[in-house]
Structure formats: C-alpha cells, structure tokens
Amino acid sequence: MSDHHIVSSYDAELEALGRKISEMGGLAEKMLSDAMDALVELDTRLAQLTVDNDPRLDLLQREIEEQAILTLARRQPMAVDLREIIATIRISGDLERVGDLAKNIARRAIKTYSELHLPRATVGLRSMHESAAILLKDVLDAYAQRDAERAKSVWANDAELDSLYDSVFRDLLTFMMEDPRNITFCTHLLFVSKNIERIGDHATNIAETVIYLVTGESLPVDRPKGHSSLNETPAKAAN
C-alpha cells in the first residue's frame, strides 16, 4: 500500500470523526432549544420528542469513541494528530452530557404542564438559555475552525452565565416567598436553571479541549466563575 494511500485513508478517518462531532453538536443544540421551547410554551409533545432524541446522541458518542480507539490502535498517531483524536473523545463526552441536561429540562417541562404557571418566572431562564446557546454555538464554531482565540472567549464568557444563574436563583426564591402556590413550579425551574448553568460548564470544557487541540497547551485549572456561593451547588442537584 502506498504512503499516499495510507495518508489519504488516515485523513478520511479524522474527517469522519469531525463530521460526527458536528452532527452531535447540531443535535445537542436542537435538543436544548426544543427543551426550552417546550418548557415556555407548555408543549409536552415537543418535550417528549426531545427526550426521545437522547438515545441518538448517546449512539453517536459511542460510535465516535469506538472509531477513535480503532484509529489510535491502527495509526499510533503523534503530536497534533494524537490531540485531534483525543479531542473528539473529550468533546463527544461533553456533548453527550449537554444532551442529558437538555433531556432533563424537557422532562421538567412535562412535569410542570399541570402545575400552576407563573410566566414571569421563566423570563430569567430564557436569558440563561440564550447565553448558554451562544456559548455552545461559538465553541462548536471554534472547534470547526480550529480557532483557539474564539474558544478562549467562550471560556471567559461563561462567567456571564453564572451571574445570570445567581440572579434567576434569587428571583425564583422571591416568587416562592411571595405566594406558596408558586413553590412547586418554581422548584422545577430551579432545577432547570442549574441544568442550563451546567451546559455552560460543558461549553467551557469543550473550549479548553479546542485550545489544547490547536496549541497543545492547557488553560489554568480554575475556570472563570461568578463569586456567589450558589456556584458551589453540586452538579448532581440538576438531575
């Protein structure tokens, strides 16, 4: 087999991994958007469709991991090619978690359908969703374009989403104190807000991976976070 054929075949494997990451990213973005629309618009059908999409995202992650491991075994890549394969494994894991969090939001939308609703309580969540969606889109674009500077911007801008989370947390507690009838609905929204905040964390994880992929360097361990103690809420509370 000629060296040219080997290189072409290797490049095709790397391109296939990149396409699957792109497919995962698009699906994760749609799941997040649909979950929030379902919550705000009381659309249980859309919420269920979002939940039903999660296995597809899980399957894509497994396919990426299997293909990446086979490529590692066959090619024994060095330097940037090794980083490329490691990056796809890392990013697929973060996107799978984004899908899980979007699924959690969709399930909350189903649970809140029959509850007393407070429309103004979702205003802050919509702002959080907009911020998280921008972070996710920007970091996926940074990966596609191998743009380390754009990835650094995502990493830094996550602090804005954390600040929004703190504000929403306080607002929801206020709504619950104003009227006990709001407690059940707002409690569900508290979980939703944490899910969205965690999506921002996964976007910054991907940003770190993109920077590692492009430069071979790692960012500081501590990511930019808001200063409120609310950010210390355990991730498992979002489930």
10-residue mean pLDDT profile of the chain (239 residues): values are: 57 91 98 97 97 97 96 84 94 98 97 90 96 98 97 95 97 96 96 98 97 87 51 43
Q: pLDDT by residue (tens digit) across 199-224?
A: 999 999 999 999 999 999 887 666 55
Q: Give the domain ranges of the chain.
A: 3-238
Burial class (CB in 10 A: 0-12, 13-18, 19+), 208: buried
CATH number of 3-238: 1.20.58.220
Angle between helices 183-215 and 123-145 (to 10 degrees): 20
